[in-house]
Amino acid sequence: MVSARIFCTDLAGLRAQALGLAEAAGLAPEFCVLNPKAPWDRLSPRLWLRPAWAVGCQSLDGAPGIALGAGGAGARVAAALRGPTTKAVAVQHPRMKLSAFDLVMAARHDGIKGDNVVITRTALHRVTQERLAAAKRHWAPVFAPLRRPLVAVLLGGANGRYRFDAAQALELAIMLGAMARPAGAGLLITGSRRTDPATLSILRQVLAPQGAWFWDGTGENPYFGMLACADAIIVTADSVSMVSEAVATAAPVFLVRLPGHSKRIGLFMDMLAADGRVRDFAGRLDLWETAPLDDTARAGAELRDRLRL
């Protein structure tokens, strides 16, 4: 099995994208989490003259296999490690010349193209039909006491472009309660690493008395089980990765648009809405027929084919 050294900062979305690609391509992944040394930690990755040295990965120069960089920092390290026996692959727009890579995996909202670019409709991820089926078998008994239809609510958080504070949490909690009561729906709610505990607490205070199920961050992570068991998914529209994972299921997906602006993220959400795969959440549970939208398996196959693995 071909080795894939994954370089990325410690962001859950980046890790999931890189690992999802490696799994889909049948590679043996090995993570190298990037923690830039001073003074490079205070500079943009674009200013790293020797990226591999800046993050302490110079000892990997020349190692055979694939250097897979996710995000801007990871891409620069992967490009620096490219050599006769090392292929460089970028996940997401690398923000540097595309010719520095053997292959670039970019989503359509990245707005790039080239002979070495593979375009996907969503971010890469680890949600497969096999993984969902296994998660459903495991978690369905846990969620069985909850009302149906079952709605999974995936919460992000402030990220420098969008805001999700107490005011938005209270507004969302009221909307979810108003939706669930007439529909007789059950709620499964989880935060992410970026979710402010105070905002999650507000949702819990409003919705737990109505029977909503919350993951408190302890014990086994129910995330794949929530995706697998949900009849509908509501997700905050601050995370390309979370929405990509949600639309890889067969459930209708509703977006909670947050205050703020990101041209790139906004374009991604609008494209999925134009595809008919997602709708904005308006406080009602109007379900429609859907199918999984997932290009990760194709991306993995393209990687193997183009790199002749």
Together in a domain, 197 and 259: yes
User: How many Å apart are CA 37 and CA 19, to the nearest integer?
Assistant: 25
Q: Is residue 228 within 8 Å of residue 234, measured between CB atoms?
A: no
DSSP element (H, E) containing 177: helix 166-183
Give per-residue pLDDT as tens, 157-166.
Answer: 988 899 999 9
Range(s) of the domain holding residue 80: 3-125+297-306
Together in a domain, 89 and 201: no
Give per-residue pLDDT as tens, 110-165.
Answer: 999 999 999 999 999 999 999 999 999 999 999 999 999 999 999 999 888 999 99
Q: Could you tell me if residue 183 is inside a domain? A: yes
Q: State the pTM of this model.
A: 0.93
**Would you put residue 160 in left (φ > 0), alpha (ψ -120 to 50) or beta?**
left
Together in a domain, 252 and 147: yes
Give per-residue pLDDT as tens, 169-182.
Answer: 999 999 999 999 99
Q: Could you tell me if residue 226 is inside a domain? A: yes
* Total domains, the chain: 2
Together in a domain, 150 and 271: yes
User: How many Å apart are CA 82 and CA 65, to the nearest integer?
Assistant: 10
